[in-house]
Structure 1
Amino acid sequence: MKAIVWVLALCALGLPRLALAEGPFKVAPTEVTDWKTVYGQIEAKDMIPARARLGGTLVSLEVSEGDMVTAGQELGKVVDAKIAFQINAIDAQIAALDSQLSNARSDLNRAEALRARGVMTAQAYDALKTQVSVLEQQIEAQKASRQVTEQAATEGAVLAPIAGRVLDVPVARGAVVMAGETVATVGGGGVFLRLSVPERFAATLHAGDAIAIEAASGAIRGKLAKVYPLIEGGRVNADVEVPDLKSDFVGERVLVKLPLAHRQAFLVPASLLYTRSGLDFLRVQAGETVTELTVVPGPKQSIDGVEMVEIVSGLSGGEEVVGDE
């Protein structure tokens, strides 16, 4: 009779039934990781400028931002109008030296005939022979100078240093550029994630740590590859290697979860937690008796595909938590 009265009283209070719908879950301390959510920026592994090797006017520009290029591909062409005049001047000097050489060889031939008859001294003959040799060497020097000038003209082509995507084109067709000036910047070699976190978290970052990343394609995992020792502006830079990271935008920001600390916590299946009148409860079984405990839940996380919730307050460990029938 007392048992019936007790059950009716519970029903009157609106309490759930005590029978179990699920097997008991034994509460035990579990190691959990505290995560810090920060922004990471996607960077190209190689960002190399394609520079003009020749000063002059950019007469053609074949690429724009976002274009894919191959290593050695011509991106533009720089022309220096003075080179054509320099080549003409060298050609004129070579022609003049050729005329002088022709006269010198004629004088040398006459000198050889005079020397054979004993009319010319050996000293005068050697002077004419030396003059011919000097003129020949001067012509060779001018030809070499012409080759250098011609090579400079061929260096007007601006070539892609690596295969990849054109990230920036700071000049336009018709612009005057100097030798060494950047015509385009090419990013290639894949991408990685660059982090910049407050210096108070520097001691918690270690190379090899697993990193959770929330990319546009979904959640992926990465590995902390390098932590830079230099702190700038109160922030620490670190690089994350992500095998499956794909992005059409260099500089795109994505959410990254950093493991800051490991601690012990009580986790229970989220399905065993229920809320009534603004309070959260768990049903705890002790022998044949089931009681309700008011608890304070914390963050949720998925473990082996099961959604678990951390219980911040209300459990001491060893309890057997059960569900409703």
Structure 2
Amino acid sequence: MRRTHLLTILLPGMLLIGTPIFSETLTLTPQAITEWKPVYAEVEPRDRVPARARIGGTITTLDVTEGDVVEAGQRVALIEDTKLLFQIEGIDAQLDALNSQLEKAQDDLTRGESLSERGVISTSSLQALQTNVTVLEGQITSLKAERQVVSRQIEEGEVLAPEAGVVLDVPVSKGGVIMAGEEVATIGSGGTFLRLGVSERYADTLTEGDTIQISGAGEAREGRLAKIYPLIESGRVEADVEVEGLDARFVGRRVQVRLPVGSHDAFLVPQTALTQSGGLDFVQIEQDTGTSERVVVPGNEVMRDGVTYVEILSGLAAGDKVVTRHE
């Protein structure tokens, strides 16, 4: 019985020998820790460009829908105004009549020139025939210019995409009546970025070029604070964050980001240096007389060089030598 009891005491010691633990000391010095502010940002296109109608009329053709990718100058819709077609027909009829009058006036002028050479008609009569031809030619030129204007208006019935991008919204439908200047489609162009808004009290802490932490889809990424807008509205500052490879399938999607809004000095110790007992946290301090345990109050965890550190809020001072352990 005594032999069995001895084996029970020795076995734990044998297990500890199989997993040796090494220790070293860390001299504490204050280190700067970045303070992060969690906010939500929305995926936004760099530019929202409206494709507007240049004339009023009826939408006879609608070539795009939400989500379509368009090129600059591509037709988005076709608008027709029947009044313009009637104007073209009226101008063509006037041109036919004036061309007939001009043909007759030119014949009269040719005959008058022949009679004037024989002295049958006076010079003033010949000049009147020439004036009539000139007036008719001027009227025809004016009508042709008017016809070009109307033809151009008909061509402007084609609503074109001002820039290449993705169609975000089409607020009209085929067969609808639209006025000149109304929006036919909204196109997002120039790529996408994250737009966020924070309280104005953080305005002075934001700097263009700062690294922004982005969390989403189970992974942490980084972005760059590209632009800070100078206009403060409703007590909020807007800023844009550029993120490489940002998923732009859903404009307006909310993404959680963390902004650097300041920094403070703190003492950091490796997480392995902390031990818990009786609901309290302890660290070992190396002193001239040996090691002793000290109660500390831990704070947030900080990752540095792949190692997890814990911020110590109280219980330690600069110059303390903390005993750290690792296997």
Q: After TM superposition, is the score higher than 0.5?
A: yes
* Shift of residue 217, structure 1, vs aligned partner: 6.6
- Opposite residue 235 of structure 1, the aligned amino acid is R
Give a deviation string over 1:89-147, Cα, whole Å, max 9, x none. 01100011012112212221221122112121111111110110111121122122222
Confirm whether residue 250 of structure 1 aligns to residue 251 of structure 2: yes
Cα distance in structure 2, aligned partners of 1:85 and 1:94:
14
- Opposite residue 320 of structure 1, the aligned amino acid is V
Counterpart for residue 14 of structure 2: none
Counterpart for residue 125 of structure 2: 124
* Shift of residue 53, structure 1, vs aligned partner: 1.6
SS at match of 1:174: coil
* Shift of residue 151, structure 1, vs aligned partner: 2.1
Counterpart for residue 11 of structure 2: none
Confirm whether residue 165 of structure 1 aligns to residue 161 of structure 2: no
Confirm whether residue 67 of structure 1 aligns to residue 64 of structure 2: no
Give a deviation string over 1:189-247, Cα, whole Å, max 9, x none. 11122221111111111222222122337322222222222221111122222233332
Counterpart for residue 34 of structure 1: 35
8 Å contact kept, 1:22–1:322: yes
Cα distance in structure 2, aligned partners of 1:324 and 1:224:
38
Counterpart for residue 99 of structure 2: 98
SS at match of 1:323: strand
Counterpart for residue 177 of structure 1: 178
**Structure 2 CA distance for partners of 1:62 and 1:274, relative to 1, 3 Å:** farther
Cα distance in structure 1, aligned partners of 2:277 and 2:63:
68
Cα distance in structure 2, aligned partners of 1:255 and 1:324:
35
* Shift of residue 287, structure 1, vs aligned partner: 4.4
Cα distance in structure 1, aligned partners of 2:285 and 2:325:
9
Cα distance in structure 2, aligned partners of 1:236 and 1:171:
34
SS at match of 2:153: helix
Counterpart for residue 270 of structure 1: 271
Counterpart for residue 133 of structure 1: 134
8 Å contact kept, 2:283–2:322: no
SS at match of 1:118: coil
Unaligned runs of 5+ in 1: 1-18
SS at match of 2:162: coil
Counterpart for residue 322 of structure 1: 324
SS at match of 2:195: strand
8 Å contact kept, 1:64–1:169: yes
Give a deviation string over 1:62-113, Cα, whole Å, max 9, x none. 2111111121221111111122211110110001101211221222122112
Confirm whether residue 308 of structure 1 aligns to residue 309 of structure 2: yes
**Structure 2 CA distance for partners of 1:112 and 1:50, relative to 1, 3 Å:** same
Cα distance in structure 1, aligned partners of 2:86 and 2:165:
38
* Shift of residue 20, structure 1, vs aligned partner: 5.5
After TM superposition, the structure 1 stretch with the greater mean CA deviation from structure 2, 207-216 or 61-70, is: 207-216
Cα distance in structure 2, aligned partners of 1:176 and 1:276:
77
- Opposite residue 293 of structure 2, the aligned amino acid is E
8 Å contact kept, 2:52–2:185: yes
- The equivalences for 1:178-217 within 5 A come to 178-216=179-217
Cα distance in structure 2, aligned partners of 1:108 and 1:197:
83
SS at match of 2:22: coil
**Structure 2 CA distance for partners of 1:244 and 1:317, relative to 1, 3 Å:** farther
After TM superposition, the structure 1 stretch with the greater mean CA deviation from structure 2, 285-294 or 162-171, is: 285-294
Identity across matched positions, percent: 51
8 Å contact kept, 2:23–2:323: no
Cα distance in structure 1, aligned partners of 2:76 and 2:211:
40
SS at match of 1:132: helix
Cα distance in structure 2, aligned partners of 1:81 and 1:184:
23
SS at match of 1:228: strand
- Opposite residue 238 of structure 1, the aligned amino acid is A
Unaligned runs of 5+ in 2: 1-19
Cα distance in structure 2, aligned partners of 1:20 and 1:105:
116
Counterpart for residue 50 of structure 2: 49
SS at match of 1:94: helix
8 Å contact kept, 2:272–2:326: no
8 Å contact kept, 1:285–1:322: no
Confirm whether residue 285 of structure 1 aligns to residue 286 of structure 2: yes
Cα distance in structure 2, aligned partners of 1:121 and 1:283:
129
